[in-house]
Structure 1
């Protein structure tokens, strides 16, 4: 029984893509993902490009359906969680980890090192404090 925090479970990206359906649907999804990857690669956070970086990261998080973790509190399991409660908690935890990874991956190496031990909400707060008042 897990109390207070979600059970950690590794992400299996292959199982996600194999649930997409027909080959044509997978090709469309891969094309979109390639486009998003290219946007994030070409717009890594360097400091002066904060506003563009923020917009692109948010687009990526929305596309991956994980943006909600930035504003939704982490679910907490009670003393006798149901299977559904545990599944909700595991999903939130996976999505939070994905949001954190996407955010850090979209930074240059200097910013990656600076933020690698921060949770994703702290990363957004810190980058806002550092660069949010730019013209």
Structure 2
């Protein structure tokens, strides 16, 4: 799958509220394929100092770059109202936490319907 077809998944499945579970599943597919999903559950490495090794600097830079891409995928795949509410959040993980709080009731409803 190319990056263009991955972004089409999110374009065609934009989060508008009632489709949170489907949107999240599609987002996680895209973030996994693009190798950016780790920023949702791994903390940012410490900011490099003059004593940091090249590997530590590289790990930090990679995490920052992945988080920026994840934020772009998330913000680009949610409604304008949700974008405005979340665009100033620091990390992709914080955006996802906020969206989960807003729409977590849908998960409970889906589980109850399945049972």
**Structure 1 segment 76-87 matched on structure 2, within 5 A:** 76=46, 77-78=48-49, 80-87=51-58
Q: Which residue of 2 aligns with 1:99?
A: 70
Higher helix share: 2
Point out which structure has higher relative CO (alpha carbons under 8 A, 6+ apart): 1
Show structure 1 runs of 4+ deviating over 3 A.
none
**Structure 1 segment 19-98 matched on structure 2, within 5 A:** 32-76=2-46, 77-78=48-49, 80-98=51-69
Report the RMSD for the aligned CA atoms in angstroms.
1.4
Which one has the largest radius of gyration? 1
Deviations 1:61-95 (A, max 9, x none): 00110101111111113550112211111111101
| C-alpha distance in 2 between matches for 1:115 and 1:68 | 20
TM-score, normalised to structure 1's length? Answer: 0.72
In the alignment of these two chains, the number of paired residues is: 105
Offset, 1:41:
0.7
Unmatched 5+ residue regions in structure 2? Answer: 110-115
TM-score, normalised to structure 2's length? Answer: 0.84
Of 117, 128, 131, which aligns to 2:88?
117
